[in-house]
Structure 1
Amino acid sequence: MLFGKKWLGDEFCHLFQCVIIIHPFLRKEMRELTNNEIQQTSGGLFGILIAPIGAAIGWAVGQLVDEVLANFGFDTDYAGAGESLGAGIGALIGLSPVMTMVFMSQGIEALVDNGISIGQQVKANNTASA
């Protein structure tokens, strides 16, 4: 169960049920958002303008990390991870929650992949030298 008691725990489910009881407006039927509400929710143009700035800063920092690790013999792509994380932070500043979630999840996944890659490279170097 994804949102059942097994995944989130009894305390969270009890708290969530209490919130629904306390706030009856959460039980209203869903409706289509107006254009103004969509702009307010997505962050509008501000998020679209700020995210590339964050991506550029993140790429620059990631490129520095890649260069340092290349000096130690590791082949990584922290520039791509930094670019995604930077774009996510830029989207967060621009109040764009959807873009934030997309870019941050890509950046975190890239960071994990880089960490796994470094571990595999270390293991390969140790077995080759032994």
Structure 2
Amino acid sequence: MENQVYNWFIKSGNIQIQKEGDCISLQLDYEKEVYCLLTHSDAYEIIDLLTNISKKIWENPNYQRQPYTNRLFKHRGNEYYWEIESSQIIIKYNETDDAIEIKYKGNNRMNLELNYVIEIIQIMEQLSK
């Protein structure tokens, strides 16, 4: 699983996920839009993949666990977002398309520590209900 790259062609766009050391690399390709759209089944597949990779990282005896002391995401209107270095990852429910919308501001590729990934999974689960 160390070097495996997962490519998901979703409702609109493409999401690439890869384990990068103790982080999960997330890269979005919007195609013709300014965001990616995930159907509910897309979201659950991505959640399962993120959970499985996170579990492998967590169970690695060499993994240096970072304490989760405060909520990392911020909430603005119907958007949830995380600021990582000089970039943002934004997730929200798109009522028009009945899908989860995900986009970046800043870097096209982000390496996410597990605490960020866990919050993203939780928000995606909440929006997929």
TM-score range, shorter chain: under 0.3
Output the TM-score relative to the length of structure 1: 0.27
Output the TM-score relative to the length of structure 2: 0.27
**Structure with greater strand share of residues:** 2
| Structure with bigger RCO (C-alpha 8 Å, 6+ apart) | 2
